[in-house]
């Protein structure tokens, strides 16, 4: 095929600069996008004219731009296909016949039966899928992508607790009959209750109007709140000033800090106490007497120890958890708390407590080579087969790190992409799945169309009619589904903690892995480490109080 590509270029008067390299790339383009050599060269001619290139030589440096041009052409062709007339298939005929049978049964009395199954046509008729899998508009799509050519679709990659791998076999069987068989489906038995807890920034809120004083107060309030909880638990003494020289043991509460800009080490640990107890001063913290510990910058801890010189607090015990005392909504205004309690009681009286089926997925929902949102389409197709009561999608949705978005080659606004590619697909999903299905979406700081602030307000869902089944949660946020409380956060705190942690383990102890850090998050009762957050420009101190999730 490389020879054919070369001949097509020569026919229209183009020479190849780095012939071997360019032909390899062009061959890859033809394979990935199912193009003939003549189609590829025609696309190059359009690209050449649009870019107003002067030379009649194909340069290797133009291949990246030409690839983006091809991807844009593919995407536009897909969008045009979605508006084509529907081509009826055997599934549609069976559906029509089924409807006629139902009409006859309404006229002619028969034996009553328990109708729990519905026969429907395939969902998402307007959704473009690859030939290898999925729904179509009655004809196979000619657009072939690397994602669509995968052979290990819906194969379990990671198994927790060595559960039996039954999913793969079911998927293979389902894929065999996906094109020609009618999918018999059962709607979710009962709609799950959905209650949102706490408060947070609202859509359209103002941020980045903070002062240094606001940042200081945010940290100070957290230290004081932590100290109050430890003291009221009755397990520890009243916090004292750790900077005062004393031969007797004292109990102090403060934040772990580093004496420099580098990573924490055993010689650079500082403990910053509150203004109330020490005027906000720091004291060096010595942990050599402890056989085991794990600390991070920004972590609030209680320390038992003595300070013989006034310059170094020698710790004998570190308390790195928050006792469970108060309700997470205790800090709300009394009127607001009463309204929340009434809402919860009304919801719980409507829905009985029981099992809940959920499907959770995290973005981005695109592949790096295009913005066709093929992973999202396959996920929703999977959800229509499993029909969970609640579908939870975590951002990013319009990923600011996607190559096409970073290079500015998209021809639509980010809001248009979100509404057309995300909300439209979700609307099709809930309409197909019935009124019992619910979707919950959580934004990310990588969403190009949303506020670049943390914590983040929820998405504004339009039109309002979708809000009954498609709901957006703040980032981070807490909700209850059938009285099961769930916290969601799209910030990758586990990766950040793994790079900041300073720990010591016994020789026979178990090494700490990344999943162990989840335990530390629960101990601190906060979604993210504030100290590191305040070093980022998109953090608004006025919203930091929303990071806490006591008693979740």
Domain boundary among 78, 95, 113: 78
Percent of the chain with pLDDT over 70: 66
| Co-location of 530 and 394 in the same domain | no
| Co-location of 485 and 347 in the same domain | yes
- H or E element at residue 342: helix 334-350
- Residue 271 sits in a domain whose CATH number is 2.40.50.140
- Residue 395 sits in a domain whose CATH number is 3.60.21.60
| Co-location of 472 and 500 in the same domain | no
State which residues form the domain around 159: 82-179
Averaged over 61-70, what is the pLDDT? 86
Q: Confidence class of residue 286 from pLDDT cuts 50, 70 and 90?
A: very high
| Co-location of 478 and 502 in the same domain | no
pTM above 0.85, yes or no: no
| Co-location of 357 and 445 in the same domain | yes
Domain boundary among 29, 57, 78: 78
Rounded to an integer, what distance in angstroms lies between the CA atom of residue 437 and that of residue 320?
41
| Co-location of 162 and 266 in the same domain | no
- Is the confidence at residue 502, as pLDDT, over 90? no
- pLDDT at residue number 68: 85
Q: Is residue 207 part of a domain?
A: no
| Co-location of 462 and 505 in the same domain | no
Q: Is residue 126 part of a domain?
A: yes
Q: Is residue 204 part of a domain?
A: no
Q: Is residue 437 part of a domain?
A: yes
- H or E element at residue 378: helix 374-386
Contact (Cβ atoms closer than 8 angstroms) between residue 363 and residue 450: no
Q: Is residue 205 part of a domain?
A: no
Contact (Cβ atoms closer than 8 angstroms) between residue 423 and residue 390: no
Q: Is residue 535 part of a domain?
A: yes
Give per-residue pLDDT as tens, 389-447: 999 999 899 999 999 999 888 889 999 999 999 999 999 999 888 888 999 999 998 99
| Residues 6 or more apart in contact with residue 252 via CB below 8 angstroms | 239, 240, 241, 242, 271, 273, 277, 302, 303, 305, 313
Q: Confidence class of residue 335 from pLDDT cuts 50, 70 and 90?
A: low
Q: Which residue has the tokens 């003595």?
A: 306
- pLDDT at residue number 418: 94
- Is the confidence at residue 535, as pLDDT, over 80? no
Give per-residue pLDDT as tens, 122-137: 445 434 343 333 333 3
| Co-location of 114 and 231 in the same domain | no
Rounded to an integer, what distance in angstroms lies between the CA atom of residue 454 and that of residue 527?
11
Contact (Cβ atoms closer than 8 angstroms) between residue 487 and residue 392: no
- pLDDT at residue number 135: 38
| Co-location of 320 and 225 in the same domain | yes
| Co-location of 165 and 68 in the same domain | no
- pLDDT at residue number 130: 39
| Co-location of 407 and 339 in the same domain | yes
Q: How many domains does the chain have?
A: 4
| Co-location of 334 and 239 in the same domain | no
Domain boundary among 78, 95, 128: 78
Q: Is residue 552 part of a domain?
A: no
Q: Confidence class of residue 34 from pLDDT cuts 50, 70 and 90?
A: confident
Q: Is residue 203 part of a domain?
A: no
């Amino acid at each position: 095929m490389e020879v054919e590509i070369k001949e097509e270029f020569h026919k229209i008067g183009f020479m190849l600069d780095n012939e071997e390299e360019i032909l390899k790339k062009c061959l890859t383009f033809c394979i990935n996008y199912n193009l003939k050599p003549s189609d590829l060269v025609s696309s190059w001619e359009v690209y050449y004219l649009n870019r107003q290139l002067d030379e009649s030589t194909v340069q290797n440096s133009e291949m990246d731009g030409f690839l983006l041009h091809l991807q844009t052409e593919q995407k536009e062709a897909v969008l045009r296909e979605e508006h084509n007339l529907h081509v009826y298939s055997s599934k549609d005929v069976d559906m029509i016949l089924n409807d006629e049978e139902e009409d006859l049964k309404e006229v002619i009395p028969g034996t009553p039966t328990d109708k729990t199954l519905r026969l429907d046509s395939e969902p998402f008729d307007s959704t473009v899928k690859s030939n290898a899998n999925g729904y179509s508009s009655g004809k196979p799509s000619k657009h072939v992508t690397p994602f669509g050519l995968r052979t290990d679709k819906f194969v379990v990659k990671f198994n927790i607790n060595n559960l039996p791998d039954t999913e793969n076999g079911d998927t293979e069987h389902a894929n065999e009959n996906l094109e020609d068989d009618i999918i018999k489906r059962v709607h979710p038995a009962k709609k799950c209750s959905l209650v949102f807890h706490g408060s947070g920034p609202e859509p359209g809120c103002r941020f980045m109007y903070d002062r240094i004083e606001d940042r200081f107060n945010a940290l100070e309030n957290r230290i004081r709140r932590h100290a109050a909880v430890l003291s009221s638990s009755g397990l520890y003494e009243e916090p004292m000033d750790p900077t005062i020289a004393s031969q007797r043991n004292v109990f102090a509460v403060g934040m772990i800090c580093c004496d420099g800009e580098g990573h924490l080490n055993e010689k650079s640990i500082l403990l910053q106490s509150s203004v109330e107890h020490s005027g906000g001063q720091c004291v060096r913290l010595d942990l050599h007497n402890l056989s085991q510990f794990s600390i991070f910058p920004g972590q609030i801890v209680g320390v038992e120890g003595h300070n013989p010189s006034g310059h170094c607090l020698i710790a004998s015990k570190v308390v790195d958890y928050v006792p469970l005392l108060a309700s997470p909504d205790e800090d709300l205004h009394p009127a607001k708390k009463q309204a929340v309690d009434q809402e919860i009681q009304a919801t719980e009286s409507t829905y009985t407590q029981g099992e809940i089926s959920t499907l959770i997925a995290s973005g981005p929902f695109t592949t790096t080579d295009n913005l066709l949102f093929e992973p999202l389409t396959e996920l929703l197709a999977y959800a229509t087969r499993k029909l969970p009561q609640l579908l939870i999608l975590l951002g990013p949705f319009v990923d600011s790190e996607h190559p096409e978005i970073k290079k500015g080659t998209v021809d639509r606004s980010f809001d248009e992409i979100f509404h057309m590619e995300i909300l439209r697909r979700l609307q099709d999903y809930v309409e197909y799945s019935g009124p019992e299905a619910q979707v919950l979406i959580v934004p990310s700081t990588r969403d190009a169309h949303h506020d670049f602030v943390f914590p983040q307000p929820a998405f504004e869902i339009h039109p309002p009619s979708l809000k009954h089944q498609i709901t957006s949660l703040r980032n981070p946020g807490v909700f209850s589904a059938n009285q099961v409380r769930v916290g969601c956060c799209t910030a990758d705190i586990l990766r950040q903690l793994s790079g900041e942690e300073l720990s010591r383990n016994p020789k026979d102890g178990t090494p700490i892995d990344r999943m162990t850090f989840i335990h530390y998050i629960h101990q601190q009762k906060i979604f993210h480490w504030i100290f590191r957050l305040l070093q980022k420009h998109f953090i608004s101190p006025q919203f930091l109080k929303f990071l806490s999730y006591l008693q979740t």
